[in-house]
Structure 1
């Protein structure tokens, strides 16, 4: 195993395995590890890639380049907090770099790089299978640092802490297992590996994962380049799903433990709240068709617009990639990005149809892209670096540069890789200025001082602003902090404190308007706050007890 091979494998695997986290961002360390890991991979592969200019002209790279501009445009034009703009730009920029270096790899190294990626995904999958078994069957062993605790009885969440993320990792691990066992002639191991992945999908109770199992079976039907044993194993995955379901049902009935998949599917194949959020997102798109609401502003615009039949959960994403791009970027910009991605997928599909020695590589890489693409129609995995970056690398492997890359020297990739590693180290230090706000040590400085320090954070100042907005007395300082942190996520507590700060600064209409939005969410925090309105005889009613006299444009609340 060469250092370059190990670099890709570790970059793909390690972020999926890290359980340790600190409040308030549960997956931040996983994402920083992903960016630093792929930065190291850029360093290790720099001298193996002759150039990048030809790859930059590919449709996938052009799509990412269009997206790369979006966060900072919103910072300059839409007043998106710089901390959010910097973070998004770093992740998208890393994705573009990973895509370009994969596209630029010479043919003799592409299979080597693909195998490294698949080994990383397979190892991450197998170890998270062990984590998932512990979470469901012996949850007492989950310590939260090495093995994450599942907060959902009867369901596995892996060390990524989300059932849908676990299901997507299992799909990637299954694809990786097919590629490795075919390449290494270990075909007898494939049925057991696929069964383990399918069994874990059932433990996750992810409906997206169940659809993904259908994609594996479809792969077995259409890919005649695979061995007979591999095709039969893939075709058997729906049967594996049935057997897994039966085994876990019998265990649940015998032990009395919850069976998460059964209760999950009893809700139906679809999700009413997801359909409702798509409906609301489309309404916002129609109201802002040309320029959208702005990158990173869907949560802000949706939460602060009247939607009487809105889902009562606080959503910061539409859970659908095309819808998210359309509502935030506007139809022209989003349409260009989606058209370029569609063109790139078509080119990847055409390349996968060619019959040569690279066909298995291209088809496995395309399956990695398609499975996460399916997930992106129902969730938002590509907003997480540990999914985006491997997906970009796999996409690059399906899309070699149309023209031979001109030698450009390794300096660009070495500099960029070093910057990514250094930047992640800085971000780790920067984040600890936020951690001490929410989890202070015994000798920590006073809360106000910790908040003030955190508000100077480069990447995470919005997290400090949340603490300022919800812990400081209502007034001008808390109001400014609320306006900034609202771009990250608006919840019931923030709406309540934000409304109080508007009322204290004389904007009674705005205060009532925010209170009206809080009522729409029907949240216990809001219900408790509004309880005083029912007992106005014992104390003067707060202004928020009365509805606003009109609609306030959400843009004026920035």
Structure 2
């Protein structure tokens, strides 16, 4: 891309370093294709924790003021809920500490965003932030093109191979995640156009490529988000005419790209993932089913909820004959997730705080004139975009979405100050005047934020070392020690001990206390292997009613890998009344526990132990 296509301005060293770290924070987590079991995305997330903490450090934020108070209050409520679910409740320490550390990092990035907005050179910092997402989007567009048009190039190490032919998934291996990254790219392109850092022709090209790549993901969430871009263009009259035209044209570009891909697939006999999505008989059925089940759980426990982090356990152990066959650990809807885990009163309070923060950021963004107003409105659109995604998925459970969204929200929340006054007379689509040079002046740094960001950075480094203790269980290349020794080491992990417990109970390793072997692991994600092992362990200790209940819940999932577990029921059933009459006395023995429902359906809470 020729340099003449852009309108660069000289950046002071501090802003340049912030831009460099921002490029890394936005791009590297989404580009990392390498992963280590048991989590396919943890290395990406650890990289995001470390790099966004460094971004907060390099932006040297000022005192954020009271602007983000509603966001911080919402996070404090969630932290209190996690502590309550851990202390008096049964949530394991590893899961509670992971949640608390993530909330702390998000709170730091909110403060860093607000503190960056309070700086005299706030607009330049946002330009660096926007360029980072343009670079991120451009690189992910290239990955999407390879995955769809040249899938043989994807080696799995540097470029992830798509698990769905004809559909782009990015190196994060999730089409909806790639779609959200691309839409942030589109918003950043419009921000740079409005701030005079990108020419119209290149803005049009980059936006069109971003929309085309969203088509390649075949993400329904992406389609809805493209419509949000058009709504922004229609409603925001402070944007330039060129920017509004580009935004309004986004759905047209989407439709043309879809038709073009369908024609290409027909002519070349290739696969277009979008056409396959349209042909699916159960479009959105599993998501609707999990929402229906969530409403059932809310109706059963409306006031206090099932407890922070306990949705999967409560949902799996509650009789729900029409449940979807996938194992869900999230409701795929943020308000429902809060309602089912926290209870309706507390969830309403958290949602009220989030909506108030959204309203305050919109009011601050629209009240700010000039380039800073453009920057704040674009930051707000990034928050709205990921918020829309959170109504259909759970992107905010991933640090590479949560932390930049937190920074952008903090930036949008900060009320206008002296930094914007000098630019009030400038049109929104022109570059600000050069001198005075605010970055040549001493900018007071808010030390508590800097210290907090350093803590997040140190925690990210520690978490990787902590994760490797567990990853060595699943990969002998990381450790040559015997499996039992690796599992024992992993069970002492601060953040990931539950993964080590999973390996212990599903591999049949000897455990010191069989009665407590499942106490931690069942709170993470119950799957077929874990449910079978848990039921067999309970039956071996004489708790056949509890074992039968777990088996009945497993039967509702209709999993092929559980067929052998239930095959004993077919073998135990007499072929006919005549064969039953002639059977030896042994045939009258009680049937295996997985072959009959329990006499009484226990409450799911009877399966958990407090104080883990």
TM-score (norm 1): 0.95
**Is 1:8 aligned to 2:22, yes or no?**
yes
- 1:431, distance to aligned residue in structure 2 (A): 1.1
Given candidates 17, 30, 42, the residue that maps to 1:28 is 42
Displacement of 1:403 after TM fit?
9.5
Q: Is the 8 A contact 2:364 2:416 kept in 1?
A: no
The partner residue of 1:167 within 175, 179, 182 is: 179
Q: Residue 254 of structure 1 aligns with which residue?
A: 267
Does 1:555 pair with 2:591? no
Contact 2:111 2:449 in 1 (8 A): no
Q: Check the 8 A contact 1:472/1:478 in 2, yes or no.
A: no
Find 1:465's aligned residue among 486, 491, 501: 501
Alpha-carbon deviations, 1:291-310, whole Å to 9, x = none?
Answer: 21111100010001111111
| Closer/same/farther in 2, CA of residues 268 and 530 from structure 1, 3 Å limit | closer
Distance change >3 Å, CA 157–CA 443, structure 1 → 2: closer
**CA displacement 1:358-401 (0-9 Å, x = unmatched):** 22112111110111110000000001000011111111111115
Name whichever of 69-78 and 298-307 sits farther off: 69-78
Structure 1 window deviating more from structure 2 (321-330 vs 352-361): it is 352-361
For residues 479 and 24 of structure 2, the distance between their equivalents in structure 1, rounded to whole angstroms, comes to 37
Post-superposition Cα deviations, 1:238-297, rounded to whole Å, max 9, x if no partner, equal 111122112211221123222111111233795121111111111111222222111110
Match in the other structure for 2:338: 325
Give the secondary structure class of the aligned counterpart of 2:468. Answer: helix
Q: CA deviation at 1:408?
A: 8.8
Worse-superposed segment, 5-14 or 92-101: 5-14
Structure 1 residue matching 2:517: 3-state secondary structure: helix
Of residues 484, 497, 507, the one that matches 2:543 is 507
Counterparts of 1:408-557 in structure 2, within 5 Å, are 410-441=446-477, 444-472=480-508, 477=513, 480-536=516-572, 541-557=591-607
Q: Secondary structure at the residue paired with 1:77? A: coil
The 1-side partners of 2:457 and 2:259 are apart by 46
Relative to structure 2, which stretch is displaced further, 522-531 or 452-461?
522-531
**Greater alpha carbon shift after TM alignment, 539-548 vs 139-148:** 539-548
Secondary structure of 1:193's aligned partner? helix
Number of equivalences: 554
Give 1:96-175 correspondences, 5 Å limit. Answer: 96-105=107-116, 106=118, 108-175=120-187
Q: 1:21 to 1:443 in 2, by over 3 A?
A: closer
CA contact (8 A) 1:83 1:461 kept: yes
- Counterpart Cα distance in 1 of 2:365 and 2:459: 37
Shift of 1:478: 5.2
Once residues 517 and 152 of structure 2 are traced to their aligned partners in structure 1, the CA distance between those partners, rounded to angstroms, is 40
Structure 2 counterpart of 1:390: 404
Aligned residue for 1:25, secondary structure, equals: coil
Given the superposition, is the C-alpha separation of residues 53 and 546 from structure 1 closer, same or farther in structure 2, using an over 3 Å criterion? same
Deviation at 1:402, TM superposition (A): 8.7
**What CA distance in whole angstroms lies between the structure 2 residues aligned with 1:284 and 1:471?**
32
Correspondence for 1:88: 99
* Closer/same/farther in 2, CA of residues 401 and 77 from structure 1, 3 Å limit: farther
Q: Distance in 2 between matches of 1:532 and 1:157?
A: 40
How many Å separate the matches in 1 of 2:194 and 2:534?
58
Displacement of 1:350 = 2.2
In 2, Cα distance between equivalents of 1:479 and 1:437: 23
Residue 365 of structure 2 corresponds to residue 315 of structure 1? no
Structure 1 residues 150-204: Cα deviation after superposition (integer angstroms, max 9, x where no partner): 1111111111110000111111000001111222141111221111111111110
Take 2:509 and 2:497, find their aligned partners in 1: how far apart are those partners?
19
2:84 to 67, 70, 73: 73
CA offset digits 1:416-460 (Å, max 9, x no partner): 222222221211111111112111139722222211111111111
Q: Where do 5+ consecutive residues of structure 1 fail to align? A: none
| Aligned position for 1:342 | 355
User: Distance in 1 between the 2:379 and 2:536 partners?
Assistant: 52
Q: 1:432 to 1:509 in 2, by over 3 A?
A: same
- The C-alpha deviation readout for 1:125-167, integer Å capped at 9, x for no partner, is 1101111111111111112221112111111111111000011
Alpha-carbon shift at residue 409 of structure 1 (Å): 5.5
Q: 1:477 to 1:151 in 2, by over 3 A?
A: farther
Q: Which runs of 5+ in 2 are unaligned?
A: 1-10, 419-442, 575-585
Residues 112 and 409 (structure 1), Cα distance of their counterparts in 2 relative to 1, 3 Å cut? closer
- Tell me: CA distance 1:217–1:298, structure 2 relative to 1, closer, same or farther (3 Å): same
Alpha-carbon distance in 1 for matches of 2:563, 2:360: 53
* Counterpart-to-counterpart distance in 2, 1:458 and 1:300: 21
Q: Which one has the largest radius of gyration? A: 2
The question of 1:370 aligning with 2:384 is answered yes
- Superposition deviation, residue 113 in structure 1: 2.2
408 and 186 in structure 1: CA distance in 2 versus 1, 3 angstrom threshold: closer
Q: In structure 1, what is the equivalent of residue 277 of structure 2?
A: 264
Aligned to 1:305: 318
Query: Any idea what SS the aligned residue of 1:482 has?
Result: coil
Tell me which of 348, 354, 369 is aligned to 1:356.
369
Deviation per CA, 1:208-267, whole angstroms, max 9, x where unpaired? 000111111111111222222221111111111122112211221123222111111233
2 CA distance for matches of 1:327 and 1:466? 25
Cross-structure match for 2:220: 207
Q: What is the root-mean-square deviation in Å for CA atoms of aligned residues?
A: 2.2
Change (3 A) 1:268 1:228: farther
